[in-house]
């Protein structure tokens, strides 16, 4: 079979992949055709089989999984099923791969120039001059500096966005028929993500390569893909053009995904209450890491019972500030005040009542629970130490909190790895609540979760805030989310507050250039809907 220009670039026929041990189907039987030059978005939650499907295009099946039936062909060449031969000559040349985490994808001991040349050498481009010219071409195509000194850099000398650009350059190096991208923007901040996806578009247009883009971020896919497939339980439940997704998606699950996107247009403006006291106050906090200063005299106030969103990109110092509040980072000048009293810098030196008053919920729920202790014990431990409760009462307080966050008592005997990310985050929240805090510090609590799970957590936080008059410091990189949860928003850029006011006006009339760019980026993804 000779592929012509219009022939499909990738064809999956009746693919069935099962777990070897249990025989349970991960992909129960899928057909998929990817046309030339198209960008296909694969959306779905963790465990929906989207990565398994994407990787099958490379002829790769994760250990523990077995292909039971079906074929996969890329550019006419079989990579799964009958007649597979020499996968290595196909991978990298006909079909290439961009993984989720660029820092683990790039060999840390190779210079980036060599990383790009390596794939060419593997596929018979042996002339070093030709390799160098092509590498130069690729680097300038993906918007990286093309000068020789950049080629000599090591991956650890690049930013996350630059690393992902290098990974993309490697993927497009030999003009492959299909490029598979597995959540390539997960670790990146909003504006870098926008740049990366427009780069993907551009590279695809330039080389005619088709792209299969796996992501759990529906909003992102709607902004740049040609076609969106929604996966659920291994099946493709939706397959519509991206431009018409909002209207044309009919499957209940797709509707649910759509509904769980924060909608900025219909949101009623939150009223701005002037409370008498401040639950939390930061007075000219300058946090340091050794000799480098992470934040510059940041002053913020959270009125009692309200929420302040702290928005900024990775590296802006927002997490550092949150850690100063919690006492996990003690190298700072200035003061953190809770209920008008200055807190000691290190958490170890804070009195029990002061520790109880401030509770912290971490970004990664699995990492914040001791992997060798049942989650219920973790919650009860907080109730026992901070609430001063005896064992039995601590456990019943824990159960009350667990039920309050929407889990059942029988979840409490589980170990963290036995729960999903959303369940774990609810447990972490239950632990924080068990202490009966006055101030809750939420550090990107939704960013590692799937969209529909995110919405549930945000709802829960809002209910809790109202119900318990909790004051919150809500750290996020997502401006839209800030507006949904917080009365006030502060925007942080390089450790300095560049915008601070009620969320409504920050979003509608941003004063600083940087905020304007953030708002536009958020708007641009939103307008595609």
Instruction: Tell me: does residue 385 bind other proteins (CB under 8 A).
Output: yes
Dihedral of alpha carbons 3, 81, 105, 39, sign: positive
Q: Residue 108's CB: how many other CB atoms inside 10 A?
A: 9
Shortest spacing between CB 260 and other proteins, in angstroms: 11
Judged by phi (left if over 0) then psi (alpha if -120 to 50, else beta), residue 214 lies in: beta
Q: For other proteins, which stretch binds (CB under 8 A), given 16-24, 131-139, 145-153, 382-390?
A: 382-390
Q: What are 30's two structure tokens?
A: 């899928």
Instruction: For other proteins, give the closer residue by CB, 284 or 352.
Output: 352
Strand stretches in 159-250, DSSP E: 178-182, 210-214, 227-232, 235-241
CA 430 to chain centre: 23
Instruction: For other proteins, give the closer residue by CB, 46 or 264.
Output: 46
| Rounded-to-integer distance, Cα 458 and Cα 446, Å | 8
Residues between 200 and 239 with contacts to other proteins, criterion CB under 8 A: none
Sort 154 into a burial class: Cβ within 10 Å, 0-12 / 13-18 / 19+.
middle
Instruction: Tell me: does residue 360 bind other proteins (CB under 8 A).
Output: yes
Instruction: For other proteins, give the closer residue by CB, 449 or 507.
Output: 449
Instruction: For other proteins, give the closer residue by CB, 243 or 374.
Output: 374
Shortest spacing between CB 350 and other proteins, in angstroms: 8
Residue of the chain from 224, 362, 395, 500 that contacts other proteins (CB under 8 A): 362
Q: What are 25's two structure tokens?
A: 């189907």
Shortest spacing between CB 356 and other proteins, in angstroms: 8
Residue of the chain from 30, 280, 294, 407 that contacts other proteins (CB under 8 A): 407
Shortest spacing between CB 145 and other proteins, in angstroms: 33
C-alpha separations of 293 from 177, 285, 286, 287, 288 in Å: 47, 11, 7, 6, 4
Instruction: For other proteins, give the closer residue by CB, 431 or 483.
Output: 431
Shortest spacing between CB 469 and other proteins, in angstroms: 21
The continuous run of DSSP H or E covering 195 comes out as: helix 190-207
How many residues line the site for other proteins (CB under 8 A)? Answer: 47
Instruction: For other proteins, give the closer residue by CB, 35 or 400.
Output: 400
Shortest spacing between CB 130 and other proteins, in angstroms: 41
| Rounded-to-integer distance, Cα 457 and Cα 461, Å | 6
Residues between 415 and 454 with contacts to other proteins, criterion CB under 8 A: 415, 417-420, 422-423, 426, 428, 431, 435, 452-453
User: C-alpha angle 272/278/279, rounded to 5°?
Assistant: 110
Instruction: Tell me: does residue 373 bind other proteins (CB under 8 A).
Output: yes
Contacts of 508 (CB under 8 A, 6+ apart): none
Strand partners of residue 473: 308, 441
C-alpha separations of 520 from 311, 506, 512, 513 in Å: 15, 12, 12, 10
Residue of the chain from 43, 307, 336, 382 that contacts other proteins (CB under 8 A): 382
Q: Which residues of 423-449 are buried (b: 16+ CB within 10 A; e: fewer)?
A: bbbbbbbbbbbbbbbbbbbbbbbbbbb
Residue of the chain from 284, 367, 509, 524 that contacts other proteins (CB under 8 A): 367
Shortest spacing between CB 387 and other proteins, in angstroms: 10
Instruction: Tell me: does residue 359 bind other proteins (CB under 8 A).
Output: yes
Instruction: For other proteins, give the closer residue by CB, 190 or 472.
Output: 472
Instruction: For other proteins, give the closer residue by CB, 170 or 449.
Output: 449
Strand partners of residue 71: 13
Task: Characterize the bridge pairing of strands 439-443 and 471-476.
Answer: parallel
Residues between 312 and 351 with contacts to other proteins, criterion CB under 8 A: 326-328, 347-348
Q: For other proteins, which stretch binds (CB under 8 A), given 106-114, 263-271, 373-381, 389-397?
A: 373-381
Instruction: For other proteins, give the closer residue by CB, 364 or 496.
Output: 364
Annotate each residue in 451-470 with x if it binds other proteins (CB under 8 A) or - if it does not, as one string: -xx--x--------------
Shortest spacing between CB 307 and other proteins, in angstroms: 20
| Rounded-to-integer distance, Cα 515 and Cα 51, Å | 34
Instruction: Tell me: does residue 410 bind other proteins (CB under 8 A).
Output: yes
Q: What are 263's two structure tokens?
A: 């909608």
Contacts of 505 (CB under 8 A, 6+ apart): none
| Rounded-to-integer distance, Cα 212 and Cα 290, Å | 43
Instruction: Tell me: does residue 370 bind other proteins (CB under 8 A).
Output: yes
CB-side exposure of 337: number of CA atoms within 13 Å? 18
Q: Applying CB under 8 A, which residues contact other proteins? A: 326-328, 347-348, 352, 355-356, 358-360, 362-364, 367-373, 378, 381-382, 385-386, 406-408, 410-411, 413-415, 417-420, 422-423, 426, 428, 431, 435, 452-453, 456
């Amino acid at each position: 079979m000779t592929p012509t220009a219009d022939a499909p670039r990738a064809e999956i026929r009746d693919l069935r992949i099962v777990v070897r041990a249990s025989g349970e189907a991960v992909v129960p039987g899928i057909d998929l055709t990817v046309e030339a030059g198209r960008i296909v978005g694969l959306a779905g939650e963790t465990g929906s089989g989207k990565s398994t499907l994407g990787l099958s295009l490379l002829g790769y099946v994760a250990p523990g999984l077995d292909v039971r039936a079906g074929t996969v062909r890329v550019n006419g060449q079989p990579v799964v099923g009958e007649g597979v031969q020499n996968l290595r000559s196909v991978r990298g040349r006909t079909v290439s791969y961009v993984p989720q985490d660029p820092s683990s994808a790039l060999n840390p001991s190779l210079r980036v120039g060599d990383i790009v040349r390596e794939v060419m050498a593997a596929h018979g481009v042996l002339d070093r001059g030709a390799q160098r010219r092509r590498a130069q071409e690729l680097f300038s195509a993906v918007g990286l500096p093309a000068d020789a000194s950049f080629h000599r850099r090591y991956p650890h000398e690049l930013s996350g966005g630059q690393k992902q650009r290098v990974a993309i350059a490697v993927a497009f190096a030999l003009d492959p028929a299909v490029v598979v991208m597995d959540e390539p923007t997960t670790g990146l901040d909003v504006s870098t993500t926008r740049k990366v996806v427009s780069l993907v578009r551009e590279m695809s247009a330039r080389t005619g390569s088709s792209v299969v883009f796996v992501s759990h971020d529906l909003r992102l896919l709607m902004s740049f893909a040609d076609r969106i497939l929604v996966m659920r339980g291994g099946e493709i439940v939706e397959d519509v053009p991206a431009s018409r997704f909002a209207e044309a998606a009919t499957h209940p699950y797709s509707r649910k995904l759509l509904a769980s996107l924060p909608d900025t247009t219909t949101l009623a403006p939150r009223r701005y209450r002037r409370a008498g006291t401040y639950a939390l106050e930061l007075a000219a906090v300058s946090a340091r890491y050794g000799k480098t200063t992470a934040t510059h005299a940041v002053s913020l106030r959270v009125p009692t019972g309200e929420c302040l969103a702290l928005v900024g990109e990775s590296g802006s110092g927002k997490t550092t500030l949150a850690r100063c509040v919690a006492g996990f980072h003690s190298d700072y000048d200035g003061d953190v005040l809770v209920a008008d009293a200055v807190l000691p810098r290190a958490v170890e030196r804070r009195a029990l009542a002061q520790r109880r008053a401030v509770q912290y919920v971490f970004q990664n729920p699995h990492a914040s629970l001791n992997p060798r202790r049942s989650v219920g014990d973790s919650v009860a431990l907080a109730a026992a130490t901070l609430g001063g409760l005896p064992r039995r009462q601590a456990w019943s307080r824990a159960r009350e909190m667990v039920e309050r966050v929407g889990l059942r008592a029988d979840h409490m005997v589980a170990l963290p790895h036995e729960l999903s990310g959303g369940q774990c985050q609810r447990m972490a929240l239950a632990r924080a609540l068990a202490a009966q805090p006055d101030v809750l510090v939420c550090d990107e609590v939704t960013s590692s979760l799937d969209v529909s799970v995110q919405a549930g957590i945000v709802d829960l936080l809002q209910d809790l805030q109202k119900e318990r008059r909790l004051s919150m410091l809500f750290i996020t990189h997502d401006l839209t989310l800030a507006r949904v949860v917080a009365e006030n928003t502060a925007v942080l850029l390089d450790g300095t507050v560049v915008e601070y006011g009620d969320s409504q006006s920050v979003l509608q009339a941003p004063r600083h250039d940087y905020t304007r760019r953030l708002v536009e980026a958020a708007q641009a993804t939103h307008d595609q809907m």
